[in-house]
Amino acid sequence: MGADAPDRGELIAALGVEIDPQLLETALTHRSYAYEHGTGDNERFEFLGDSVLQRAVTAMLFSRYPDDDEGELAKRRAGLVSTFALASIARTLRLGAHIRLGRGEVLTRGAEKPSILADAVEAIIGAAFLSVGSEQAEALVLRLVMPLVDDPASTGAITDPKTALQELASLRHAPPPAYDVTGEGPEHARIFTATVTVGELVTATGTGTSKKQAEVAAAWEAYRAIRA
């Protein structure tokens, strides 16, 4: 993003919580933009938001699944707080358009990178905590993650999208997923794009800073498309 920020009204409405405008801008500021413009970035907010996220999800899972042992609860939590779960939430919020990125990240499609999207979600949770306190911030977390909780198959798929996609293809009597990966940009900032095709069922793409990350992102998008 450039210096002209888009209207945040739609984002605030989607979040359903009033976040201090200055705190929200910081939460949406990637370190690449901060370096170029001499502003603060969202890394401290991300640190705080991660703690709020973990606490809210842990308490919710403990109450919702009274018969699960520690290992099963930990597995559920890992899926819900994973990079791909948070990136999926970010895409639902159309968060990429709001994140302030430096020129290099703009050129390498940083607004599509799962890690940047996930970090921004955590930073927004941190900004919400600072703006309205722990109770409303944790309520925000639950609103964001409950669609995934209510769809256990998706929650499991987030943990291992490639395996989940392969299993889903088999269930639909389709050929195994086939991946094609291309890379662009300089070696120190290379961005990879993976395209996965599952027979006639779906073709989906994903990006990442490694071939594996791009394939996983593509697998998750394909899985979601097939199950939609």
Catalytic residues: 50, 122
Q: What is the DSSP string of 100-118?
A: B--HHHHHTTGGG-HHHHH
User: How far, CA to CA in Å, does 205 sit from each of 141, 168, 198, 212?
Assistant: 27, 17, 12, 13
Give the integer Cα–Cα distance in Å for 213 and 55. Answer: 27
> What are the residues whose beta carbons fall under 8 Å from the beta carbon of 21, sequence distance 6 or more?
8
Q: How many other β-carbons are positioned within 10 Å of the β-carbon of residue 67?
A: 5
Would you give the DSSP letter of residue 201? Answer: T
Single-letter amino acid code for the residue at 139: A
